[in-house]
Structure 1
Amino acid sequence: MDLETDFEEDVATLGDRITAARLQAGLDQAGLAQAIGLSPKTIANWELDRTEPRANRMQMLAGVLNVSLGWLMNGTAGDEAALAPGDETDAMRAEIEAIRTLHKELGDRLERLILLVDRAEEKP
């Protein structure tokens, strides 16, 4: 299966592309959800086109599923080649923001876990 050519832009939905890329990557919904820190229900809703991922999650999806962001978003291959010079830095800034968001989310999770451990150790 060649993900860059198996879908026509006017036929496949975002959910279709997420599903196909996930299957190509050998992941089930739970595995993809774990890789990006969400619930399997969220992945299912994306794949059924009930909801759409935020921009930072789209970046994460493209990375985890090893597909281009352009293909994931609209079914076109080679989005990097189509970028205008200013768009290239915009894409990099979007990636930086996605990483910052993920970093903050992981920090928050770590702090919650530390609190739980501290509370558990305080109990007699």
Structure 2
Amino acid sequence: MTDTTNIYEEMPDLDTSGGRFSRAREASGLSAKQLAWRLGVKMATINAWESDRSQPGSHRLANLSGILNVSISWILHGVGTAPSEPERGEMAESLNSKLRQLKLLHAETGHLISRVQDEMERLGAGR
């Protein structure tokens, strides 16, 4: 969004403020624990904000928007400067990597199940 764009002409992000806050934190690469430490709050506070059980006070919003590189209006209302989204290629590669890892774990689990089953049968406990 350029400086001359009126935020009220934008299509708002219809997620909740907690959802937007969570997405911005993830986009920044910070864990809830890291963000809590930087803000001087408990992790339970971050979790409450992200699950819409409470909202950060005005004194925390300015810090949050700076740390997460988003505008206060985006966190509260879904209009304004949002976190940059990862490129589709990056997302696809990340998903492919996770899928390969899951397939390996699935195969490993299958082998382990077979070994346990063989052991149980050998012991006569597989009946």
TM-score tier, shorter chain, comes to 0.5 to 0.7
Q: Which residue, out of 41, 49, 57, partners 1:38?
A: 41
TM-score in terms of structure 2 length: 0.53
**Is the counterpart of residue 69 in structure 1 residue 72 in structure 2?**
yes
The offset of 1:12, in angstroms, is: 0.6
- Unaligned 5+ residue runs, structure 1? 1-7, 79-124
2:44 match: secondary structure:
helix
- Unaligned 5+ residue runs, structure 2? 1-10, 82-127
Q: Which runs of 4+ in 1 moved over 3 A?
A: none
Structure 2 letter corresponding to 1:64: I
Aligned length: 71
The offset of 1:10, in angstroms, is: 6.3
Once the two structures are superposed, the pairs formed by residues 76-95 of structure 1 within 5 Å of their partners are: 76-77=79-80
Contact 2:73 2:79 in 1 (8 A): yes
Q: Percent of counterpart pairs with the same letter?
A: 38
Contact 2:62 2:72 in 1 (8 A): yes
Kindly report the root-mean-square deviation, in angstroms, between the aligned alpha carbons of the 2 structures. 1.4
TM-score in terms of structure 1 length: 0.54
Q: Which residue, out of 54, 58, 69, partners 1:51?
A: 54
Q: What's 2:29 paired with?
A: 26
